[in-house]
Amino acid sequence: MHLARLWDSSRRTDGGYSLEGLTNDHRVMGVVPKEVQKIGKRSMQTIFGRKKIKKDGSEGKITAIEPVETLQREDRELWICYSSLDSMSTLRLYESLKSKLERKPWTFDGVPKGSMYDFYEEYWRPFGAILVKMETAGMLVDRAYLSEIEKVAVAQRKLAADKFRKWASKYCPDAKYMNVNSDTQIRQLFFGGIENRYELHHFLCLKFLLGIHIYAALISHLGKSYLICYILNKRRKI
């Protein structure tokens, strides 16, 4: 998935970076060798999901999946097909993203260094290998010390967020109510009104989060429980 993030870092709110989301997106899979079969990833829930049976014997609304150990034994042939499809989808995705990154130039301080795939091979691929080793072997942590510095980090994060909101509100009054952890709101603040370079004549709206000040005021004066009731009532009217 590092290849996908390097190619487009804005997919978090537009399709995501799951194997299923990437392989079923024609924008991602536009470049695939003819010899690689074009089949997108299918989720385990789609293939193995079964409706829970009610006490009266009828099917319920909840879809459940048996433990992996059970699926491997009882649905062995289907499990092999699922695993094979995953491998085929991963290969197809790799070939497409590799082709895309090979066409993107990598420059550093104005000096051409190669393609973005070269950048991936030199930096991101070794980094991925390190992450795998860390997840496999684990790492020692001083839990007592970590607990203490966590409190400091949380306090510093709050101060930094408040400072950012205060700065942003000079340019957009509603920014004092914004969620600084929201990618959508950050993008709206910094890039509102700018044309999308991948979609011609498509501009991000200049208007900043209509109605956010209303919700913030309700929280301040009436509490979160009232806000929930307020939103539910508006939805019923719609």
Mind giving me the DSSP string for 154-195? HHHHHHHHHHHHHHHTTT-GGGGG--TT-HHHHHHHHHTTPB
pLDDT for 233 beyond 90: no
Q: Is 40 left (phi over 0), alpha (psi -120 to 50) or beta?
A: beta
pLDDT digits (tens, 9 = 90+) for 132-152: 998 899 888 899 999 999 999
pLDDT for position 220: 52
pLDDT for position 238: 43
CA distance 49 to 203: 40
pLDDT digits (tens, 9 = 90+) for 33-72: 554 445 667 778 778 888 888 888 787 888 888 888 888 8
Query: Comparing 9-23, 75-89, 216-230, which segment has the lowest mean pLDDT?
Result: 216-230
CA distance 175 to 208: 8
CA distance 237 to 196: 35
The band of 213, judged by pLDDT with boundaries at 50, 70 and 90, is very low
pLDDT digits (tens, 9 = 90+) for 153-175: 999 999 999 999 999 888 888 88
The band of 32, judged by pLDDT with boundaries at 50, 70 and 90, is low
